[in-house]
Amino acid sequence: MYAKGVSFSANKLTCPICLQLFSEPISLPCGHTYCFPCLKTMEEGLDQHRCPECQAEYQGTAALVKNLQMCKLTETYKIMCNSIAEGVLMREKEWELHLTTSNSQLREKISRLLGQMKDSLQSYSDQVMQMVEKELGPGEESIRARVGQTSELAKQLRHTVLTAESLLTEEDEKAFSDELQSLNANIAEALEKPLREDEDFVEAKVNFAHVCPKLEVMNTVLREQLGETQRSLRNTFNPSELTFDPETAHPNLILSEDLKTVTFSTVKRSYTSSPQRFTSFYQVLSAQSFSEGEHSWEVELEGSPWIIGMCYSGKLPRSGMPSALESSQSSWCLMWFDNLLTAFEQGHSVPLKKTTVSRRLEVKLSFKTHRLSFYNISPTSGKTHIYTFKANLSEAVHLAYRMMSGHPKGRVTICS
């Protein structure tokens, strides 16, 4: 440890002649200090010896003694600088190790997901070929064309998977991260292709489900498998990626194609039956869950009173009064109703002051500090804090939204 009260300054420990830290410092009678070698060099061949700074005379270096205090301070300063440098170097190595480990884990996860995708595609292609050979007659050319096109799309998907797999051998971490982000869009585009109907096939007016129901079932299974893998890949590329889960949306809620906007419909949608779907309140959850890290999103809410927050999906019922976000023991949320903000923490309400809430909110989730914070984002006054929950979250949470009234203009959009 360094002496308490000692103040280190590189300027005070620097020789005015060589401008380096003192080496064998000696002090002149006038009080100025220099390196012994520097003074020795200066006085060579001179009859009179003067201080380089104040020009006070002295009797030569032979009569001078080493400044032990300055020696000690200089050595202590060097040790301190070396210690700081070692600490910085150690932190840099720790960070490099962290990045390498993180990217190694990322590569491993992506490799596993791509393997799942490849297995699904291979199984699908094999089954398609079996259907062609066993169930399609020679006169059903339009169906053969449809099957052939679907098989070709499967080949394109496999090519995308192979491209992604080759990326896993990239040693440059920055290049790996950059190419990985751009590849995500390609995978998403490829995954959409098997789901689109072929115009020529539709014009042929062939009842595809009637002629070949097994192949239709296979298409549905492939869609579900690839969709799940795509969501996992998207979450891997962007840990804070957030979209709404159509499996949880109340039948009167409509989701946009990118799953980031929810609007109200006066007519119930004919969604597939799902045990995850809300049936009593106009509610929907995010498709992604979060159990670690720091996350931040902005949402726009308009056209209807609302409730928004985070919840434990598995502990939230899907029907009846217990399914309401504000009364749930497994949610932390804000309610905007009758121009009044209310915070609800695990079923307990905390009325907040009357305030003007803009259309845009920021939601910040921190597992490090165990806090869930809400901010008002205004184009005129900027960002202002609304409320913070101190939530010691014990399991993964989902973003949760409830539309408080069935207004045709009711809408929520995840902006970022």
The answer to the question of residue 77 being in a domain is no
9 or 308, greater pLDDT: 308
**pLDDT tens, position by position, 187-227:** 556 555 544 444 444 444 444 444 456 666 776 677 666 66
Domain residues for the domain of 124 are 110-193+203-237
The answer to the question of residue 3 being in a domain is no
Considering only 95-104, 228-237, 253-262, 291-300, which range has the smallest mean pLDDT? 95-104
Distance between terminal CA atoms of the chain? 48
The answer to the question of residue 94 being in a domain is no
Angstrom CA distances, 116 to 4, 161, 176, 227, stand at 62, 10, 21, 12
**pLDDT tens, position by position, 146-166:** 555 555 556 666 666 666 666
The answer to the question of residue 221 being in a domain is yes
**pLDDT tens, position by position, 330-345:** 999 999 998 889 999 9
Number of domains, the chain: 3
Same domain, 289 and 393: yes
Same domain, 260 and 396: yes
**pLDDT tens, position by position, 238-252:** 666 889 999 999 999
pLDDT band at 56 (very low <50, low <70, confident <90, very high): confident
The answer to the question of residue 50 being in a domain is yes
CA–CA gap between residue 152 and residue 196 (Å, rounded): 13
Strands (E) located in 28-125: 33-35, 49-50, 57-58
The answer to the question of residue 80 being in a domain is no
Identify the helix (H) or strand (E) that includes residue 345. Answer: strand 340-345
pLDDT score at 194:
46
pLDDT score at 196:
45
Considering only 94-103, 262-271, 274-283, 301-310, which range has the smallest mean pLDDT? 94-103
The answer to the question of residue 358 being in a domain is yes
CA–CA gap between residue 379 and residue 393 (Å, rounded): 32
136 or 112, greater pLDDT: 112
Same domain, 54 and 180: no
Look up residue 379 and give its two tokens: 């184009």
**pLDDT tens, position by position, 351-369:** 887 666 778 999 999 999 9
The helix, strand and coil proportions of the chain, stated in percent and rounded to the nearest 5, come to 40, 20, 35
Mean pLDDT of the region 263-282: 93
Q: Quick one: which of 335, 376, 380, 384 has its CA closest to 357? A: 376
